[in-house]
Amino acid sequence: MNLRPLVRLASGLALAALVARGSQATAEGPAPNEIIISHTSDDRGDLAPCGCSSGQKGGIARRAAFIDSTRALNPHVLLLSTGNLFDVSEQYQVDRTMFLMRTMKQLGYHTVGVAGMDLGWGIRFYQDSVASAGLLPVSANLADRATHQLLFKPWNIEDVAGVRVGIFSVAAHSIEFEPSRHIANSDTAVEVLDPAAAARRAVEELRPQCDVLVGILNMGNHDADTLAGKLQGLDVALVGATDPNMLRTGLRAGTAMLVSDGVRGQYMSRIRVALQGKKVSRVTAEVDPLDDTWPEVESYANSRKAFEDALNERLSKIQRDQGLKTTLSRGTDHYVGNEACARCHVEAHNIWNGTKHAHAFAILKRKKKDAMPDCVPCHVTGFQKPGGYVDADNTGLQQVDGTRHNLQNVQCEACHGMATQHDTGDPDYRARARAACKTCHTPEQSPNFKFEEAWARIAH
């Protein structure tokens, strides 16, 4: 059934009333004949699409709308995440993930799986973070290498309107799951116990205590399919760990329905578990893209914006302080800014000035994203390279004469390379400049990019 019209018709208040009435009714009444399991995967701290082009997916405010519409259909919803809530690179992403986890708690998530990237900042750090957000991580096969003790609760049983749903998670050893690669100050070394044995034990222990049994299999579609096929008694298997290939209507694997909903929280599932008495009679799955046909729930959009604006403000201050201290050592190749090129290439400069490349930074300022390390590099020139963009106020490294060049926007050198490497007889300059496009016009940011068409719009 297509649920979208419901979202558009019902106001937030009416939905809230529906939800409240629904759960009250069943607290006293008989067990429902259906519950819905809805899940996301691999968020890595993403709160919203970047907005670089239309049709991008994901974001917590749309997710809120999806959840509201699901609850309006049936209030007995269990929300799950397979894991990879964290991304492992920069500190600001930790702050973003903390905000994401608190928002997920607010949306109604509780039990979450544990995947490789979650542990990149250290085990204790992860345990403390999820606990402070009020989420409960489960993993039946991640152990302390020194003591061989499990690091997390192996599973959890959630009560959904009187239906007992058991949830466990297991993860496979993979390149991504090599915490030592990421953790500088590793507190605990992780041992990955055999996922198949751990899953079998979880099913044996949980089956007699539960009406519905869900396994989070953080190992990609192929291995999850193989494992689920061998587990007698599993009802739903959720695939996690950065597998972009989705199983959008599910796949039968043994007794389970195997569902895979892609990466970066851009899709969300609605898995309907029909019950007779309290026995599972049928499971059907549907995975939907969180695209712009979903409205953003205003309260979630507002709190996200407040958080992001404050984060940008904070990073901006740090960058300004650092930027002022940065100097350029004499003799290295570096960027100089487009004014230098304009002196000799007047015609090319005039044409460039009329393209959006010449104004690409303005949009980041307007959106208060001008200090975000995951936005700035493609909207400026020579980000963090010698002589390149440093920060919004003092762009360009300080030159020997004390001046700074403005390296905002996508300037000549973003495609042609550093001015100090300018070579009037370079036979490869075309191929090099053409190759630059794809570093910014990626499938994520610029899905419809075709060189010939694009070049025609900026030809000089």
Give the contact letters, 379-418, x = binds to ligand HEC (CB under 6 A), - = no: x------------------------------x-xxxxx--
Strands 111-113 and 247-253: unpaired
Q: Which range of residues in 102-110, 188-196, 320-328, 452-460 is near ligand HEC by CB under 6 A?
A: 452-460
Q: Given the complex with ligand HEC, which of 200 and 349 has the nearer CB atom?
A: 349
Query: Residue 89, SS3?
Result: coil
Alpha-carbon span 58 to 49, nearest angstrom: 6
Joined together, the tokens standing for residue 79 give 């929300």
Give the contact letters, 4-43, x = binds to ligand HEC (CB under 6 A), - = no: ----------------------------------------
Residue with tokens 């609760």: 153
Cα within 13 Å of Cα(264), Cβ side: 15
Alpha-carbon span 112 to 84, nearest angstrom: 10
- Residues 178 and 171 sit within 8 Å (Cβ to Cβ): no
Largest CA distance in the chain: 83
Among 5, 29, 50, 391, binds ligand HEC (CB under 6 A): 50
Joined together, the tokens standing for residue 423 give 């070579």
Q: Is 420 in the site for ligand HEC (CB under 6 A)?
A: no
- Residues 81 and 44 sit within 8 Å (Cβ to Cβ): no
Q: What DSSP state is assigned to residue 245?
A: S
- Residues 397 and 390 sit within 8 Å (Cβ to Cβ): yes
Q: Which range of residues in 188-196, 197-205, 377-385, 396-404 is near ligand HEC by CB under 6 A?
A: 377-385
Q: Is 349 in the site for ligand HEC (CB under 6 A)?
A: yes
Question: Exposed (0-12), middle (13-18) or buried (19+): which is 62, by Cβ within 10 Å?
Answer: buried
CB of 345 to ligand HEC, least distance (A): 4
Q: Which range of residues in 145-153, 165-173, 285-293, 347-355 is near ligand HEC by CB under 6 A?
A: 347-355
Among 326, 355, 394, 399, binds ligand HEC (CB under 6 A): 355
Closest to 283 measured CA to CA, from 258, 246, 248: 258
Give the contact letters, 305-344, x = binds to ligand HEC (CB under 6 A), - = no: ---------------------------------x-xx-xx
Under the rule (CB under 6 A), what is the footprint of ligand HEC?
Answer: 50-53, 338, 340-341, 343-345, 348-349, 352, 355-357, 359-360, 363, 367, 369, 372, 374-375, 377-379, 410, 412-416, 419, 422-426, 429-430, 433-434, 436-437, 439-442, 445-446, 449, 451, 454-455, 457-458, 460
